[in-house]
Structure 1
Amino acid sequence: MRHNTLRTIIRSTLCLAAGSAGLAASGVMAAENLKDDVLVEVIVTANKRAQELRDVAGSVSAYTGDQLKELGAQSLSDYITRLPGVVFNDYQPGVSEVVIRGISGTTYHEQGQAVVGYYINEIPLSEPGWPIVIPDVDTFDLERVEVLRGPQGTLFGSASLGGLVNYIVKEADTEGFDAAVQTSASQTHESDDFNYGIKGMVNVPLSDTFAVRVVGLERRDAGFADNVRTGQDDSNDLTTRGARLSAVFEPSDATKLSWLTLYQKTDLEDQTYVTMPTLTRDTYVAEPHKTEMLVNSLRLDQDLSFGSLTMLGALANKESDLIFDYTRDFPTGILGSGLGTPVYGIGEAESESKSIEVRIASPGDSKIGWVIGAMYLESTKDSLDSMHQDGFAGFLDDEGFDGDALAPGDNQDRYFVHRKDEEMALFGEVTFSFTDTVSLTAGGRLFEAKSDNNIGRLPQAVFGAEGIEASPGYSYSEDKKDDGFTPKVTLSWKPNEDFMGYASYSEGFRVGGANPNPPGLTPSQLTYDSDSVQNYEIGVRSTLVGGGLLVDATAFHIKWDDIQVRLFGPAPTYYAYVSNAGGAEVDGVELSTTVRAGQVFEWQANVSWIDAEVTAFVPDSFAPNGGYPIGTTLPGSSEWTVSNTISLTFDDVFLSPQFVLAHRYLSEAPVAFANVSEKGDYHLVDLRASTRFGDSVMVTAFVNNVFDEYGILNWPFGDFGVPLASVTRPRTIGVSLDWSF
């Protein structure tokens, strides 16, 4: 059945390709003069060299800074799901994850490496192991955001099973002074507080060859959930603060040296999940979560007689601190202490990564296009998790133990993880044009990845044969090593500048690692192996009616082997661990269209259909029947995603008004393997109306979630039998002001 489905998909896409080619070649270009008015050239670096977006033979999308401003987008949740084949596990700010083409083993945080890679100006931020912070860069002063669908293991390495997200931050410009300010204020239904944002940028050329650009921002998303037990109204306030510094030195036309510092911090005062179907929470303590990310990088771009040299080095630090309430799971306290005080988990984690990449690419006008390079990544990661109960150390003292030694600061059941990873690779890609219309691109990545893990439990009190006993703790080490070759091949046909068809095969991989050792894991569950995907796809890019109609379509089949799945142990702790399952397959179709009428009307529509199922039994010793059968849908994999954005722009009318109507739909998807709890199945509609005062000031009124839809973004505890979910922000009405120099 799956192969018949794929055959139908491929046949339909080929028919579309043939039809589009015929239109492109048969005289629709009578409206050629329209093209210069409606098409905006977007340059992307998806293939490690600059290309016009519509010349890329692959599934690449990009949002420019202007498009993000038009949508009023602030963070990933505002725009990433508008792209075909993309969903967002929107659970906790700072760690919510993008999922592309249904490649997902969990809707919780990944405990293994992320399934999607994250980059900032090509700096890798998806180090091996569980993600401490998922980069969700504020959109202010971004050049663009590139999203590559399908595995990108050849040019980008691990953590790109489904694809990757590459933020491109604007660099300092030596051409002239520039400045901008963006402010906003809004009110969310069911919230007594205001949302606000204030952001600023200044670009200063200090000479003809040297310039700096500084960005600062603060954004507050007011809480809308009341915690009925702690008594805190609007408890889930989120504050995002950030700063960026770019410095560029261009001593000649051939040499450019760039420095980038990026800092961003999120501070969530209480978790986002609510008790369905209400907007209330019920925890014994607040559950705050704070994340920090600091990136420093230095880049050299040098033109050579035979190509261009790029050298990029970066340091990245990330931190995460959170609290999670376990009082209901320990009604008599830790080890039956009977203290009557709340019990909550504390999680502290940090990582540091160092990366360097050197590559040389062919000139842009070369008959044979090529890129060759080498990279090295080193990362260290440390975490400490514990259970806390006020007075617990004193309880142990009363029982005849040294409470300060076994539970310092009233923290019990402390386990730590220290992980060090190294990844090195040689990669390359070459494009050979057989004719003026047919090209073959082939590439590969030769890699080696090492992981050294030290895991253990610190001294603690445990239940023994005769009651409470003192445990001295323990530690153990597990090492993993992976190496291999990741290929990619693409055949493209471009009979004219307005049509391209392509077929490609690509692979991606994630490295393995070691699990923390919660009670109940068997020796075989202490480590997990790498997993990999093979992606087959065909696609077309068509520019019709003189640029008035753009049609991009892709059909794909993905085979996922040795999938890393996140599973959970029994109550009350629900310890999570990663295990390898047999495999899964994903079939899908992505369709993206844009209809334009001059500078006035534009309609962008994106639709994707995805069928993602396991193809081998997924063992889970804590699940009914010991696991999940063949045909089980992958967690969080929605069958349908749809988005529509219609804009009307009247530049020749007084105050140049613009109106934007945006719609998104996400179909239902299970939150875990074989789970009846589902996320999705909701529509969101946003409205925006803007006016301009000269070339410098734009004022916008907006309504987000016009119909106040109560949509389930994620149901993280669906398999624990409690109706707790993260939901869409209620209707929000506000105004924003943009000023540029």
Structure 2
Amino acid sequence: MASFESGPVWSGRSANPASRGRRMRWLATAALAAPAFCAAPAFAQGQQAVGETALQDEAEIVVTAQKREESVRDVPQSLIVASGEELTSKGIQSLEDLAGQFPGVTTYSFGGAGQNQINIRGVTIGFDTASTVATYIDDVPFGSGSAYSGLSQIGLELGTFDVQRVELLRGPQGTLYGATAMGGLLKYVLNEADPGEFAATLQAEGTAHSRSEAYALRGALNTPIIADKLAIRVTGLHARDGGLVDNVATGEKTVDSWDKQVGRISLAFTPSDRLTLRATALVQNLDRDGSSEVYYSRVTGKPVHGDFTHSQPNDSFFRQKGQLYSLSGDYDLGFASLQATIGHQRLENDLLQDVSEAYPAILSAFFPIDAATVLTRLYLKKTTAEVRLASSGKQKLEYIAGLYYTDENIEKFQNLAGYFGGELLPIDIGTFRIPATYKEMAAYANATYHFTDRFDATFGLRVSRNDQDFEQFGSGLIGASNPGSSAKDTVVTYLGTVRYHLSDDNMLYARAANGYRPGGPNLVVSDPVTGLPLGAIAFEPDSLWNYEIGVKLRPARWLTADVSAFYIDWSNIQLGAIRNGIGVFANGGTARSQGIEFAFTARPTPKLTMSLLGAWIDAELTEDAPNVNGVDGERLPNTPRWSLSAAADYRIFQSDNISGSIGAGWKYLGKRTTGFDANPNFPQYVLPDFHSVDLRAGLEARHWTLDLFVRNLFDERGQLSASTGFAFAGGPARVNVIQPRTFGAILTTRF
């Protein structure tokens, strides 16, 4: 299982041609473990975003975090809810921007838009073999549960326009959401078609900074077809970003420009008071011309070629085509609600990366080469089905029980090409085709018993059966084939909570829950001398337990305070490992993450809203992890100890016809590491802490709204993440930075 990302552990010249050939084969490193070859305002925890809707009663804010509608103030876990309208009005559209609003949440970028891995509560080993955070669009999971798909670093760039809300659940959600939700859940709840009214929204956005400009055009139309029975909703978006980074090797400017198109059609049909049917078709295309990575010296921490530059002799690009279709139904049985959802998605990702700072240093021992590229093509076809029964109304015993099924077909193609003097070498260095399948069947149930009107307890259980197969077909100098192997796992996850309402607006809770990622078959690599297998023929699931206590308080009508403390015990961690230069999956080491999350929101006057959110996280290994050269006590990557955000919004005037507001936001992200100090395949790089300040103003008149904003007011060079998978031969860190000072305007009309 090759990985051009991880990098070989051997280099040098062999005097023996046969031995040299064997060693060249060993250069194929972890294609399956390194899937993509990579490489404002604050929002109150457990409540809606501050801003235009800040004065509404929080009891009206409904979430579906526990797969039933309930007030956000009653959910016994740490979560953040942000309305899509508020996010859009402040220019929050990318996954990277979205994660930046939530303390305790980080992203790991592998090249720019479309290539982001999201992490919550420090549950990450850096370059993760499979996702630790599940992503849902309504009730349909996005992406893959398999480590072989290569999609753990391909984040969903759905945007926030015509999204009702975004729910971010911290901590494992294994009982209700299954595999990969071990760190948490990111859920997009879309606006549904409404048979009760006609509505339309048009929106234009423009932004500019010192490097380029960007624009977006968005529209949504909702129209009844049969009054109060049948409606259709159509949403469209086209966005273009002029880019940020120059390529000094080719002389090209802003090579990372990109275009995105999103289209969605949804239907809602209510043939009777008891039955509701919904259908959705979503299409998204993203085309990025080059890499957004900036080259930084791992010694000095400074840009190698200057601000917003990298040096890549060959073109790089990222292209994504995604389709998602779903059909759901909800039938009211009186005593309970019967709900069913079927989803189908197709994802195609093409990625070309320049890796000239890495592989020529190794391969030049065998033939003339001064540049190299890796082409990766990832294809996923996935079908999911879920049916569940949920009790209705307030009862002594409330329950939800369901069955879940997923069937994934994965196809992965990779090619390592070499160049000399600008010409493509007529040598097949390495070509791989890797088909794989993943199936999961699960049954789950949650039951809540109300001992009194104020005190209740919940117990949840999920039993999951995972079945995986894969093969590898290789050619070229380092290409190797594998006849294929299979693996099956049965995993049980649990949930337990207790909740006590001190009053209608004040609650204490305690929660214990666990989550997991599936194991799977491994590439069988044999020792060239003994012929014996190197490493296990399969890797096992990893899992964690999360223990949490929290309070959700409203000491005064104008003040809310949400505080939670957690402790995570992570065991049997899935890692990318090297066996004689061959990348395989492995398990090893344990870790713990502990921390405190808090959110305070104050509305001392009807015109002024203030908030402070933060997270302190201490995440480290609790035993050595030899596969990544991690040692007991070493910090987990990409996890700052402190992340904070504060915001203030003030309505400066308001009348029947017009209103205006101003606001400011501040964010802080603490120092992070990208890996482990002694890991030669992912050399260490330290990301410094940084602050960022945003300003905003809004004007609303009848059906028109104008939002103005300035992001990164003081033009900081904040470093969000860094990839060092191509730095094993002494190359630079590939750093993802925040945009420079950016001015933006959004004009919206509704009718």
- Contact kept in structure 2, 1:642 and 1:665, CA below 8 Å: yes
Given the alignment of the two structures, is residue 512 of structure 1 paired with residue 519 of structure 2, yes or no?
A: yes
Structure 1 position 644 matched with structure 2 position 655: no
Distance 1:539 1:682 in 2: 29
Q: Which residue of 2 aligns with 1:17?
A: none
Name the SS for the 2:313 alignment partner.
coil
1:244–1:263: 8 Å Cα contact kept in structure 2? yes
Could you say what the CA RMSD is over the residues aligned between the two structures, in angstroms? Answer: 2.6
Alpha-carbon distance between aligned partners in 1 of 2:525 and 2:688, rounded to the nearest angstrom: 32
CA deviations over 1:527-574 (Å, ceiling 9, x no partner): 42110001111011012312x11111111111001011245789xxx9
**SS class of match (1:54):** helix
* Equivalent AA in structure 2 for residue 715 of structure 1: A
What do the CA deviations read for 1:309-355 (whole angstroms, capped 9, x no partner)?
Answer: 10000001111111111334454996778676842111011111110
Whether 1:322 and 2:351 are equivalent positions in the alignment is yes
| CA offsets 1:37-88 (integer angstroms, 9 cap, x no match) | 5546211111111111111111122111232134331122223232232122
8 Å contact from structure 2 (residues 244, 292) kept in 1: no
Q: After TM superposition, which residue ranges in structure 1, 4 or more long, deviate above 3 angstroms?
A: 35-40, 327-342, 389-392, 514-522, 566-570, 574-578, 718-721
Say which of 738, 742, 750 aligns to 1:740: 750
Kindly indicate whether residue 405 of structure 2 is the aligned counterpart of residue 380 of structure 1.
no
CA distance in 2, matches of 1:519, 1:198: 55
Question: 2 CA distance for matches of 1:180 and 1:568?
Answer: 53
Counterpart CA distance in 1 for 2:391 and 2:315 is 55
Which residue in 2 is equivalent to 1:710? 717
Query: For each residue in 1:500-543, what CA deviation from the matched residue of structure 2 results, as whole angstroms up to 9, or x when unmatched?
Result: 10111101000012456799996216642110001111011012
Query: Runs of 5+ in structure 1 lacking a partner?
Result: 1-34, 397-402, 463-470
Measured in 2, the distance between the counterparts of 1:149 and 1:80 equals 12
Deviates more, 1:579-588 or 1:651-660: 651-660
In structure 2, distance between residues paired with 1:475 and 1:569: 15
What does the per-residue CA deviation read over 1:405-444, in whole Å, with 9 as the maximum and x for residues that have no partner? xx6xxx5411122111111111011110111111011110
1:354-365 equivalent positions in 2, closer than 5 A: 354-365=383-394
Distance 1:576 1:61, change over 3 A: farther
Q: Residues 100 and 687 from structure 1, CA distance in 2 versus in 1: closer, same or farther, beyond 3 angstroms?
A: same
Residue 237 (structure 1) shift: 0.7
Counterpart Cα distance in 1 of 2:56 and 2:597: 27
CA distance in 2: counterparts of 1:273 and 1:350, whole angstroms: 24
Partner residue of 1:164?
A: 185
> Which amino acid counterpart does residue 651 of structure 2 have in structure 1?
T
Partner of residue 366 from structure 1, selected from 395, 398, 417: 395
| Distance of 1:280 and 1:700 partners within structure 2 | 31
Q: 1:638 to 1:167 in 2, by over 3 A?
A: same
User: Which residue identity lines up with residue 512 of structure 2 in the other structure?
Assistant: Y
| Secondary structure in 1 matching 2:103 | coil
Aligned counterpart, 1:210? 230
Q: Name the SS for the 1:628 alignment partner.
A: coil
Matches within 5 A, 1:488-567: 488-515=495-522, 523-524=534-535, 527-546=538-557, 548-566=558-576
Quick one: which amino acid aligns to residue 632 of structure 2?
I
Shift of 1:489: 0.6
- 1:77 counterpart = 2:96: yes
Supply the AA of the counterpart residue of 1:237.
S
Distance 1:324-1:588 versus aligned 2 partners, 3 A rule:
same
* Alpha-carbon shift at residue 254 of structure 1 (Å): 1.2
> Residue type of the partner of 2:412?
S
Secondary structure of 2:271's partner? Answer: strand
Which secondary structure state, in structure 1, belongs to the residue aligned with residue 60 of structure 2?
coil
1:180 aligns to 2:193 (yes or no) = no
- Summarize the Cα distance change of 1:320–1:526 in structure 2 as closer, same or farther, 3 Å threshold: farther
The answer on 1:656 being equivalent to 2:673 is: no
User: Cα gap change, 1:395/1:321 in structure 2, threshold over 3 Å: closer, same or farther?
Assistant: closer
Separation in structure 2 between the aligned mates of residue 95 and residue 525 of structure 1, nearest angstrom: 30
In the alignment, is the contact (CA less than 8 A) between 2:468 and 2:520 conserved in 1? Answer: yes
1:284 aligns with 2:310: no
User: 1:251 Cα shift?
Assistant: 0.8
Label 1:37 to 1:293 Cα distance change in 2 as closer, same or farther (>3 A): closer
Of stretches 128-137 and 375-384 in structure 1, the one that deviates more from structure 2 is 128-137
Query: 2:446 aligns to what?
Result: 429
TM-score by length of 2: 0.85
Counterpart of 2:40? Answer: none
In the other structure, the counterpart of 1:275 is 295
Contact 2:95 2:116 (8 Å CA) reproduced? no
Provide, for residues 715-736 of structure 1, a one-character-per-residue CA deviation record: whole Å limited to 9, x for no partner.
1017634143111111111221
Say whether residues 1:635 and 2:656 are aligned partners.
no
Secondary structure, in 3 states, of the residue corresponding to 1:715? strand
TM-score, scaled relative to structure 1: 0.86
Write the deviation string for residues 184-223 of structure 1: whole angstroms up to 9, x where unpaired. 112112x1x3211111111111112111101110112221
Out of 348, 353, 366, the residue aligned to residue 377 of structure 2 is 348
The answer to whether the 8 Å contact 2:708/2:745 transfers is: yes
1:64 aligns with 2:83: yes
**Distance in 1 between the 2:256 and 2:524 partners?**
32
1:690 aligns with 2:693: no
Determine helix, strand or coil for the equivalent of 2:543. strand
Alignment of 1:351-500 (within 5 A): 351-389=380-418, 412-458=429-475, 460-461=476-477, 474-500=481-507
Aligned length: 670
2:603 corresponding residue in structure 1:
596
* Residues 709 and 391 of structure 1, relative CA distance in 2, 3 Å threshold: closer
Higher helix share: 1
Aligned residue number for residue 249 of structure 1: 269
CA distance in structure 1 between the partners assigned to 2:180 and 2:652 by the alignment: 44
- SS of residue in 1 equivalent to 2:535: helix
Is the contact made by 2:360 and 2:370 (CA closer than 8 Å) also made in structure 1? no
Give the SS at the match of 1:262. strand
Does 2:597 align with 1:586?
A: no
Seen in structure 2, the aligned counterparts of structure 1 residues 365 and 346 have a Cα distance that, compared at 3 Å, is same
Matches of residues 278-317 of structure 1 in structure 2 within 5 Å? 278-317=307-346
Q: Deviations over 1:262-285 (max 9, x none)?
A: 111221111111123221111011
In the other structure, the counterpart of 1:614 is 621
